[in-house]
Amino acid sequence: MDPADLRWFHSHAGTQRCFPALLETESASCPVWVGYRGRYSRNFRKPSYDIWFGDDHLPDWGPELHLNAAYRDPSLMRSRLSFDLFHKLGVAVPRCRHIWLCINDMNEGVYTAVEAVDQAWLKRQGLPDGPIYFAVGSKGNFGLIDQDTGRPKRYINAGYEKRHPADDDFGDLEELIEAVTLPTVDEFPDQIRRTIDVDNCLRWLIGMEFVSHTDGIVQNYALYRAATGQWRFSPWDLDGTWGRYPSGMASSADHMPVGTGEDNYLLVRLLRSARWRARYLELWRRALANVLRPAHLDDMIETLYDEIRADVVQDRWKRHSNTTFRREPSRLRTYVRDRLAFIQDQLGVKMW
């Protein structure tokens, strides 16, 4: 980046401005625009960034790329572990990988590069063009009531931002919310099957519950319409997981209950339906017998730790010490066993 632009950029963390730069990788280079990512996280010593490409973007990525600093995660692994786990559970997620970032030859350390959930992402998933929404600000609960005030929402689509296409027509989302809220108890199971991909939704919920993504039930998820005309879910903002709150503080393995849906009205109605709760329990049993086996999760943790540890210990901006980082695989393994024991007790199942 031009040195003068970079000085201004670093001294104005609250800016929404973007600056031109040249992105160089081991195999290619291309012009880009760079901006800060997030709200409070942009004030950290190691902030996160968004990168926008022009027509000549890198072949492995779409038109936008997120560089997540994971500053509050002492392992720098939780986001990628979560995305990898959701993928194994059968939930479509953005691709991500760890990278080493330099800005004007200054080493900025280890980042997680995550592709955007956008039109290009739909194409890479083998899906035709369709609407994409993001749940933001704790109001994406599929209900008519604002859970913060206890009063009816001013707008039925409150809590959602439309990411694609770039228009202000929320009619399809409003129809979805009506399909969740208006059917009777007897009508709901069939109505919701026609409206959303229920298996996808339940697998998404299972992943959220296992990683304890408390900040992702009524916000921080993407909602998109697939080729079948049914809506599907994809998780987002997964740093505060695997035994950590979004603040970075350690959390207990039992701090997020399972099988309730919390404050998400769609999940509450699904789990109150005998038909869909039975399917939910069946998918849990399958996950516990396969993807969520402790030995399998241990391998995921160790493989990723071995991949990034040499770089992480050289990261000058990491918030935690190298000793803390080296202890994280053990803490993650402890979380796995404690969380799975709690979940099996809550669901009344015993797999091992």
pLDDT at 59: 61
What's the rounded mean pLDDT across residues 94-99?
Answer: 95
What's the rounded mean pLDDT across residues 135-155?
Answer: 87
pLDDT at 26: 86
pLDDT tens profile 255-308? 899 998 888 999 999 999 999 999 999 999 999 999 999 999 999 999 999 999
Q: What is the chain's mean pLDDT, rounded?
A: 92
φ, ψ of residue 34 to 5 degrees: the values are -125, 135
Is the sign of the CA dihedral 293, 295, 298, 299 positive or negative? negative
Question: Which residue(s) pair with 151 in the sheet?
Answer: 146
What does DSSP say about strands 132-135 and 221-225: parallel, antiparallel, or unpaired? antiparallel
Q: How many residues does the chain have?
A: 352
CB atoms inside a 10 Å sphere around CB 351: 13
pLDDT at 138: 82
pLDDT tens profile 55-82? 766 667 778 999 999 999 999 999 999 9
Report the C-alpha gap between 321 and 306 in whole angstroms.
17
pLDDT tens profile 306-350? 999 999 999 999 888 899 999 999 999 999 999 999 999 999 887
CB atoms inside a 10 Å sphere around CB 54: 11
- The domain ranges of the chain are 3-115, 119-273
Could you please state the CATH topology (level 3) that the domain comprising 3-115 is classified under. Answer: Phosphorylase Kinase; domain 1 (3.30.200)
Report the C-alpha gap between 36 and 6 in whole angstroms.
12
pLDDT tens profile 12-34? 988 999 999 999 988 888 899 99
pLDDT at 285: 96
Nearest to 78 by CA among 226, 214, 232, 243: 243
